[in-house]
Structure 1
Amino acid sequence: MSDDPVAPPAPEVAAETVAIRRRWLSLGEAVAVAGVIIGGLTFWNSFEERRDAREIRAEERAAAREAALAASRRTGLIATEANGSKIAFKGVDCALQSTDIRFPKALGVTAQSTVTVHEIEAAWIARPLLKLTDGGDDRRQGRLPVLIDSLCTGPEGNRQESAIYDIAWRIEPGLFGRSLKLRGMVMRQRVTGSGGQATLDALWTKP
């Protein structure tokens, strides 16, 4: 066996080896930096998503609280009986205490109030409606808007509401002439402020 020492690599080979090592180091550093950047972006996106989710949940909870609060202030009247001569009504989920019922000014009907018995009577509006429909078809029907201010008591306390309801009516011929029959009531819109009567008058159209 030869005892000659191994010859060192040529200078150009050594330089190329160093260059290759440097390229690998640069590539490794770039990969590491890219990994750090990707990790940072992933963390930021995750943070943003969690923050957005928290904000959305907070907005949903606030909207739910607002809806519940608004509902707790409402009375919401519904008819319990409509037998032609009257419409009996009550609060949806509260004990109705009193109502003030107003009619379009052009109809010339005096405002009415209820305390213990909550009803709208056909006799209140029969004469003007029969007069307005006189001379036409004996069978007529339509809706009359009325403004009802109501006070109701629920678990959370008193509720006050002002809303316009449509009273469905029908005129029928009979043995002693035509008569007005009340058929039911349905909420048309809630009103705020002091403009309820003006809104009511604007909604009224003669039959």
Structure 2
Amino acid sequence: MTDPAGPPAETPATRAAEQAEQRAETRAIRRRWITIGEGVAVAGVIIAGLSFWNSWQEREDAAAQRAVEQQAERSAQRAKRGRVMLVTVAADDDGIQFAAQAGCALQSTTIRFPTALGVGEQSTVLDHRIETGWIDGPLLKLTDGGADRREGRLPVLIDARCIDEAGERHEAAIYDVIWRTEPGFLNGRSLRLRGLVRREGVSGDGQRRLDTLWTGP
């Protein structure tokens, strides 16, 4: 049954309450949008800061890597500049003639042999050679009783000095003397030296390292 009285009449107090409620809701909505905007702005600042940091860190890492590479290159250049690097010039029945790498004038060398070979230290100043006569007796004796034709390597320690446009270089290094035995006159044998090959640089007690490398022919 319908209420004959109908809906209650709107009063000024009711309208004021509704308006106050609408204004409060509007302010709440405005505050929410402001809060969202502030959050977006803060997030933007954080993202920009992180991007800047990453970019700066990448530049720092790249600079550090370049510094490491440059230092390694300088160290390699210094090591290379410190090398004398002897090379074979000629090999004949009398021995091996050698010289320093191109551009470095060889001044002197001291050549040492494995202790077990029983060959004394040798030095060169003007004519830089390893003479066959220094080592043929011991090597032929050690290889006696086998085939006439044999090949092998004899490690020797060479302390060398040379001079180029940058100054003096000095290096102690172990080289392999490549040798071969051949049949000689009246069933004898002869020793021929064929070349000089660098094995490794040494520091400290080079003679001990040399003796370790020598295991016999």
Identify whether the pair has TM-score above 0.5, normalized to the shorter chain: yes
User: Is the 1:168–1:184 contact (alpha carbons within 8 Å) kept by the matching residues of 2?
Assistant: yes
Q: Which residue of 2 aligns with 1:41?
A: 50
Query: Helix, strand or coil: the match of 1:187?
Result: strand
Paired residues, what number?
200
Alignment of 1:138-153 (within 5 A): 138-153=148-163
Q: Which residue of 1 aligns with 2:134?
A: 124
**Deviations 1:3-31, CA, capped at 9 Å, x for gaps:** xxxx8874433333222211111110000
Q: Which residue of 2 aligns with 1:167?
A: 177
Q: Percent identity?
A: 58
Shift of 1:43: 1.0
Q: Residues of 2 paired with 1:82 and 1:108: CA distance?
A: 23
Q: Which has the larger radius of gyration?
A: 2
Q: Which residue of 1 aligns with 2:67?
A: 58
* Comparing 24-33 and 85-94, the one that deviates more: 85-94
Q: Residues of 2 paired with 1:100 and 1:26: CA distance?
A: 85
Gaps spanning 5+ residues in structure 1: where?
1-6
Of 182, 207, 210, the residue aligned with 1:197 is 207
Q: Which residue of 1 aligns with 2:33?
A: 24
Q: TM-score, normalised by structure 1?
A: 0.90
Gaps spanning 5+ residues in structure 2: where?
1-14
Q: TM-score, normalised by structure 2?
A: 0.86
- What letter corresponds to residue 86 of structure 1 in structure 2? G
RMSD: 1.6
Q: Residues of 1 paired with 2:208 and 2:78: CA distance?
A: 27
Q: Residues of 1 paired with 2:145 and 2:112: CA distance?
A: 27
Of 121, 133, 147, the residue aligned with 1:111 is 121
Q: Residues of 2 paired with 1:62 and 1:103: CA distance?
A: 37
